[in-house]
Chain A
Amino acid sequence: MAIHEKSLIDADRLKTAESLVIDGVDVSGHWNTMITPRTLRDYDEHFEKTIMKYGGGDYVYRCWQCGSCTNSCTMYAQNVNFNPRYWIYLTRLGLKDELIKDKDIIWQCVSCNKCTNICPKDVKPEGVMKALAHWMEEEGITEKTPSTKFDEEFWDQISARGRIEDSAVLQNFFKKTGQSLTQDWLVEMIKRMIKHLPLKHLIRSGMNTVFHPKTKSWGKTGDVLKEYVKQQKEAAHG
Chain B
Amino acid sequence: MAKVAYYPGCALEGSGGPYDRSTRAIVGALNLQMENLRDYNCCGAMEVKNVHPMLQTYLSARNLAIAAEQMGLDTVMAPCNGCYHNLKKAEYELATSSDSLATVQDLAKKADDPVYNGNVRTVHLLEWLMEEVGVDGIKERISKNLQGIKIANYYGCMYTRPRQIYPEKDKGPGSESTYKPHFMDDLLGAAGAQNVDFPLKTACCGGAHTLSDADTSTQLVLNLLQAAEDCGAEVIATECPTCHSGLEMHQVRAEKVFGIKTNVKIIYFTQLLGLALGLSPRKLGIHENISDSIDFLKQKGVI
Contact call A108/B216, Cβ cutoff below 8 A: yes
Given contacts A55-B50, A122-B164, A228-B54, contact A192 B41 (CB under 8 A): no
Query: A193–B161 Cα gap in the complex (Å)?
Result: 31
Prevailing SS type, chain A contact patch:
helix
**Category for how many chain B residues contact A:** 35 or more
A225 within 8 A of B: yes
A213 to chain B: closest residue by CB: B13
A215 touches B162 (CB 8 A): no
**Are the C-beta atoms of A184 and B257 separated by less than 8 Å?**
yes
Measured between beta carbons, the chain B residues less than 8 angstroms from A174 are: 211
| Contact indicator A185/B257 (Cβ below 8 Å) | yes
Complex interface residues of chain A between 165 and 204 (CB less than 8 A to chain B) = 165-167, 170, 173-174, 177, 184-185, 188-189, 192-193, 195-198, 201
A145 in complex: contacting residue of B58, B212, B256, CB < 8 Å: B212
A173 to B110, CA, bound (A): 32
Chain A residues closer than 8 Å to B212, beta-carbon distance = 145-147, 149-150, 173, 177
- Chain A residue at minimum C-beta to C-beta distance from B44: A158
Q: Within residues 249 to 287 of chain B, which ones have a CB less than 8 A from any CB in chain A? A: 249, 252-253, 255-257, 282, 287
- Residue contact A108 to B209, C-beta cutoff 8 Å: yes
Residues in B whose Cβ lies below 8 Å from that of A220 = 110-112
Quick check: is B34 within 8 A (CB to CB) of the other chain? Answer: no
Q: How far is the CA of A228 from the CA of B48 in the complex (A)?
A: 14
The answer to whether A150 touches B42 (Cβ under 8 A) is no
Instruction: Note all chain B residues with C-beta closer than 8 A to A32.
Output: none
Which residue in chain A gives the minimum CB-CB distance to B218? A185
Interface contact tally, CB-CB below 8 A: 185
Q: Mark A132-150, 1 if CB is under 8 A from B, else 0.
A: 0010000000000111111
Partner of B204, one of A56, A110, A166: A110
* B209 partner residues in chain A, CB cutoff 8 A: 108, 110, 146-147
Residue in contact with B111 in the complex, picked from A195, A201, A216, A219, CB distance below 8 Å = A219
Question: B213 to chain A: which residues have CB within 8 Å?
Answer: 108, 110, 146-147
Q: Mark A33-56, 1 if CB is under 8 A from B, else 0.
A: 000000000000000000000011
How big is chain A's contact interface, by range?
35 or more
B189 within 8 Å of A by Cβ? no
Bound-complex Cα distance A222 to B278 (A):
44
In the bound complex, how far is the Cα of B45 from the Cα of A155, in angstroms?
Answer: 10
| Residues of chain B lying within 8 A (CB to CB) of residue A165 | 10, 14
Contact yes or no, A216 B39, CB < 8 A: yes
Within 8 A of A (CB), among B133-164: 157-158, 160-164
Question: Using Cβ atoms and an 8 Å threshold, which residues of chain B touch A163?
Answer: 10, 13, 41-42
- Chain B interfacial positions (CB closer than 8 Å to A): 10-11, 13-15, 17, 39-42, 44-55, 58-59, 62, 107, 110-113, 157-158, 160-164, 178, 203-204, 206-209, 211-213, 216-217, 219-220, 248-249, 252-253, 255-257, 282, 287-288, 290-292, 294
Give the interface of A toward B (CB within 8 A).
Answer: 55-56, 74-75, 78, 108, 110-114, 116-117, 122, 127, 130, 134, 145-152, 154-155, 157-158, 162-167, 170, 173-174, 177, 184-185, 188-189, 192-193, 195-198, 201, 205, 208, 213, 215-221, 224-225, 228-229, 232-233
CB pairs A–B below 8 angstroms (21 shown): A55-B53, A147-B208, A147-B209, A150-B47, A154-B44, A158-B48, A163-B10, A164-B10, A166-B15, A167-B14, A185-B257, A188-B252, A189-B253, A192-B291, A193-B290, A197-B287, A208-B14, A217-B113, A218-B41, A220-B110, A229-B55
